[in-house]
Each structure stands twice: as C-alpha cells, then as structure tokens.
Amino acid sequence: MLLVPGTMSNLPFFSLYPVFPWTGIMLCGYLFGMFYLKNVERRNFGNIVNFSFYSGAFCLSMFLILRVINGIGNRLYWNRFNLLEFFALSKYPPSLTFLFFTSGICFLLISASIFLAQKKGVVGKVYDFICVFGRVPLFFYTIHLYVYGVLPLFAGLRKPVPLLYVYIIWSAGIVLLYYPCKWFFAFKESSKNLT
C-alpha cells in the first residue's frame, strides 16, 4: 500500500498517493532548494542556470531512453509510435519515465526563468506576469479549480467543445486569476512584516 495506490481487501485503508516515491521526490526538491538558495545568496545565478539546464537535459534524455524501451515501472506501454501513447505516463504510482519527464521540464523552466528574469522590455513584462502565479502556487491551484469549474457554465458550455474553446476559457481564467493572486501575494508579504 505504501508503493501502489488503491485498496487492500483485508484492510479498510485507501491510498491515493504512494508514500515512498513521492517522499523521494520531495527530498530531491528540498536538496535542490538548498542549492538554489545558497547560490541566490551569493548571486551565482550562472550556477543555477547551468545546473538546471544540464539536469533538465539529462532527465529528458533518460526519459527518452526509458520510454523507447518501454520504460521501467511504467504501467502504460506503447505498441506503435503514437504521440498520445508515447506520452501516456503512469503518475499513480509515479514511473521513472513520468519523474524524468516532469523533472526535466521543470529544470529547463527554472533555467529559462532565471535567464529571462534579467531581460527587460516585453520579455521582462511577460516574465513578471507569470511570476505572479508562481509566488502563490497553492492559492492559485485551489481557486483555479473553482474558476475553471464555473467559467464554462457562464459561457453556456455544458458538453465537449472544440480545442479552440478550451484555449479561450483557459486564457479568460488566467486573466481572472491574475489580480486575486497578486492580492494574495501582497497579503502574504504584509503578514510577514507583522510578525
């Protein structure tokens, strides 16, 4: 039960998240966070950019190798080359292919964001806009569920729609969520100053 989610016939327990794989991921995140903070304090942004870029490249290379050979521990196999099958990765329990793919993307995004943070003009403004959501991830995650649950109803959409409509709804939701997220970040910062 600690490894594979689900129920056991003789026990009244249910596990949505397998404990061991996710604990390992959290520990890796903690270690990378310490490395990140140490380099931010020393203003060694180049170290973060390089480490993140090469880590991302390594993770994505491992993902490709494992997925091509139908991976270790991935319950979702692919038989013919089909992008949907190839990228259908097992998250519960997390397979190595899932972890390498998502970690690789995250590392590359960190590398790109540190690089873009130093840019000015339109790129800098886009970066600042995106950072608003990244500063309050749990708040954004919680309220986006309700916004995207209600938004289609207001638009009169109650059945499957073309992909273009999905992008329009998604964009409208991002615009609606921007100011609440900005407000909550300011609230968090002012609360820190009170203590």
Tokens matching residue 87: 């990228």
Range of the domain at 11: 1-118
Contact 83, 35 (CB under 8 A): no
Q: DSSP label at 3?
A: S
Which residue pairs from 123-131 have beta carbons closer than 8 angstroms and sit at least 24 positions apart in sequence? 129/178
Is 180:141 a contact under the CB 8 Å cutoff? no
pLDDT band, very low/low/confident/very high, at 1 (cuts 50, 70, 90): very low
Q: Are residues 3 and 99 in the same domain?
A: yes
User: Which residue, of 90, 118, 146, is where some domain finishes?
Assistant: 118
Separation CA 129–CA 63 (nearest Å): 31
Question: Does one domain contain both 19 and 105?
Answer: yes
Residues 159 and 76 in one domain: no
What total number of domains does the chain contain? 2
Split at pLDDT 50, 70, 90, the class of 17 is: low
For residue 71, how many C-alpha atoms fall within 13 Å in the half-sphere facing its CB? 26
Confirm if 75 and 90 have CB atoms less than 8 A apart: yes
Q: Which comes out higher in pLDDT, residue 12 or 44?
A: 44
pLDDT in tens, 143-162: 998 998 888 888 777 777 78
With tokens 């949907």, the residue in question is: 84
| DSSP secondary structure of 61-106 | HHHHHHHHTT-SS-S---SS--HHHHT---TTTTPHHHHHHHHHHH
Per-residue pLDDT at 2 exceeds 70: no
In contact, 172 and 153? CB cutoff 8 Å: no
Q: Is residue 74 within 8 Å of 95, Cβ to Cβ?
A: yes
Pick the last residue of a domain from 118, 140, 172: 118
The verdict on 9 and 89 lying in the same domain is yes
Residues 114 and 124 in one domain: no
Question: Does 57 lie in the same domain as 15?
Answer: yes
Residue 16: the pLDDT is: 55
Domain closes at, from 87, 118, 149: 118
pTM of the model: 0.66
How far apart are alpha carbons 131 and 119 in whole angstroms? 14
